[in-house]
Structure 1
Amino acid sequence: MIKNYYLSFLGLLIGMVWSCSTGKTPSKTPFSETLIESHLSWNGDSLPSYPEGKPKISIVKVTIPPHSELSKHYHPVINAGFMLKGELTVIDEKGNTLHLKAGDPIIEVVDVVHYGKNEGDEPVEIVVFYAGTEGKEIVVKESKTN
């Protein structure tokens, strides 16, 4: 039940962001488009089960200035994002690399240290949807110890 709620909610929000960011003339007939769907994160890891507890959805817009990078961090909860603007390179602790550009969706890694870097001349804007639980952090900005 909780899983279906999260997936439906994330699909709706990603669709709304997509329609707002494409600049396309709206259709006279409602429609939806699945941008991404998987049980795997971008680096091929399986997503974990949703945690028990009271669900908490967070939607965060992240802006990364040109020629800068995020600190190394990890997400203890499932999350997905949509690039609104710019280009971003994401590197995980295993050396996997992902290149994103405006319009790309992403299913982010969970419990894997990673960071993103903007090597371009324009800001990166990405909207990220976190499916967590009340009282649980969505981003931990330090290296994970194994």
Structure 2
Amino acid sequence: MKKILIIILLLGFTYNAFSQKSEDNIKVTKIAESTQSWNGDTLPAYPNGQPKITILKIVIPPHQKLDLHKHLVINAGVLITGVLTVIDDKNNVLELKAGDSIIELVNKYHYGENKGDIPAEIMVFYAGVVGTEITVKK
């Protein structure tokens, strides 16, 4: 019984030492945090209902423009590659480069345009509810 206890203690010590070393190498960087979208509008309250998270990777070819659209739910993204220009219905402009984040507009028409020479890849996270579209075109 004493041998088992010593082995358990040694295993516990080894695990704790490994965990401590692993944590020393972990780096957490806050990419974005806000109560407002990129143009300064206050984000709306989350709707009632069963939460539904959607994650999309959107690839916009060089020199292409998205259709005018709006999002019905709160969403945010990070541009992985390329450049992206976002323009809202009041001609506010946001220029993104790879690594930049965006807290998107909700219920406001806008579009994105890739003015660069390589595809613009953006990963977007939508926080909606079951039964609500995430994006609608005008």
Q: What TM-score, normalized to structure 2?
A: 0.82
Larger of the two Rg values belongs to structure = 2
Correspondences of 1:1-146 after superposition (within 5 Å): 29-142=25-138
CA distance in 2, matches of 1:94, 1:112: 10
Q: Distance in 2 between matches of 1:133 and 1:127?
A: 19
- Gaps in structure 1 of 5+ consecutive residues: 1-26
Distance in structure 2 (CA, Å) of the matches to 1:126 and 1:40: 20
Shift of 1:86: 0.2
The CA distance in 2 between the partners of 1:28 and 1:126, in whole Å, is: 30
Alignment identity in percent? 57
- 1:29 Cα shift? 1.8
Letter in 2 for 1:52: N
- SS for the counterpart of 2:112 is strand
How far apart in 2 are the matches of 1:61 and 1:33?
21
Deviation per CA, 1:44-76: give whole Å up to 9, x if none. Answer: 000000000000000000000001100000001
TM-score (norm 1): 0.78
Counterpart amino acid of 1:127?
M
Cα distance in structure 2, aligned partners of 1:120 and 1:108: 21
Extract structure 1 runs of 4+ deviating beyond 4 A: none
Q: CA deviation at 1:31?
A: 2.5
* Alignment root-mean-square deviation, CA: 1.4
Rounded to whole Å, the distance in 2 between the matches of 1:115 and 1:131 is 20
Give 5+ residue unaligned stretches, structure 2.
1-22
Counterpart residue type for residue 126 of structure 1: I
CA distance, structure 1, for counterparts of residue 32 and residue 60 of structure 2: 23
